[in-house]
């Protein structure tokens, strides 16, 4: 038996890599909280609804700033929006590829940008509703509604994708968004 083959793993047979820094995690759960609050708890007509919306915008603003020069896997350049790569990822999946991505996988990356864009759009239309110019304008309110429904669909797909990828690659992803570490099974290749 070679000693080195068992050296860096403890008992689990997986190696653990720090990927999501604390700022990414705080922003993620903060954003999730604002969406749940504004979608299900807070009265839509209230001032609180607006404030929670501003906080959501602020969280995304901070995240995008952090994405410019932050930690390695949090940088936007680590998961550029690339539909062609997402398509290739799907094809690879259908062939049984179980490569682990330390940042977001190409498909997940598209979803991340989609969620951010949708929340920003919700914020913009929400703000417009409160201005003199657009107060009571139908298409603004409808756009806000449609964007919210789209966000709900996106989040369902997002959570579904996370659960699928955890099962497919064997990396407990939800845990990685809690303690920041991806535990990669030893026989997986990593990107």
Partner 1 sequence: MIARYFPAMKRERRAITLAAIILLQALCAIFFVGDVIFDLSHGDHLDDLHLILEAVAALALCAGVIYLMRELRDLLNRMAAMELGIRAARGEMADLIDAFFDQWRLTPSEREIALMVLKGIDNDSIAKMRGTAQGTVRAQCTRIYAKAQVDGRPQLLSIFMEELLNVGEG
The minimum distance between CB 48 and partner 1, in angstroms, equals: 15
Shortest distance, position 165 Cβ to ligand HEM, whole Å: 7
User: Distance between CA 133 and CA 141 in Å, rounded?
Assistant: 13
- Max CA separation in the chain (angstroms): 76
Nearer to ligand HEM, 137 or 153 (CB): 153
Site residues (vs ligand HEM, CB under 6 A): 24, 27-28, 31-32, 35-36, 63, 104, 108, 112, 115-116, 155, 158-159, 162, 173-174, 176-177
- ∠ CA 157-115-21, rounded to 5°: 100
Task: Return the closest-CA partner of residue 163 out of 150, 174, 154.
Answer: 174
58 binds, among ligand HEM, partner 1, none (CB under 5 to 8 A by kind): partner 1
CA distance 9 to 141: 54
The distance of closest approach from Cβ of residue 147 to partner 1 in the complex, given in angstroms and rounded to an integer, is 21
- Residue 128 binds which entry of partner 1, ligand HEM, none, CB below 5-8 Å type-dependent: none
How many Å apart are CA 176 and CA 180, to the nearest integer? Answer: 5
């Amino acid at each position: 038996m070679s000693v080195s083959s068992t050296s860096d793993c403890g008992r689990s047979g997986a190696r653990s890599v720090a990927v999501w820094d604390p700022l990414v995690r705080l922003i993620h759960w903060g954003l999730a909280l604002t969406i749940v609050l504004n979608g299900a708890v807070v009265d839509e007509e209230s001032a609180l609804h607006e404030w929670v919306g501003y906080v959501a915008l602020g969280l995304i603003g901070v995240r995008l700033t952090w994405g410019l020069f932050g930690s390695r896997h949090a940088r936007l350049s680590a998961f550029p929006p690339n539909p062609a790569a997402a398509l290739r990822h799907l094809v690879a999946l259908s062939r049984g590829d179980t490569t682990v991505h330390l940042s977001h996988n190409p498909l997940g990356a598209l979803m991340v940008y989609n969620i951010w864009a949708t929340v920003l759009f919700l914020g913009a239309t929400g703000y417009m509703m409160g201005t003199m110019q657009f107060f009571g304008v139908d298409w603004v309110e409808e756009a806000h509604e449609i964007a919210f429904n789209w966000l709900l669909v996106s989040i369902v797909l997002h959570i579904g994708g996370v659960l699928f990828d955890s099962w497919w690659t064997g990396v407990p992803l939800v845990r990685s968004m809690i303690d920041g570490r991806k535990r990669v099974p030893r026989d997986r290749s990593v990107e």
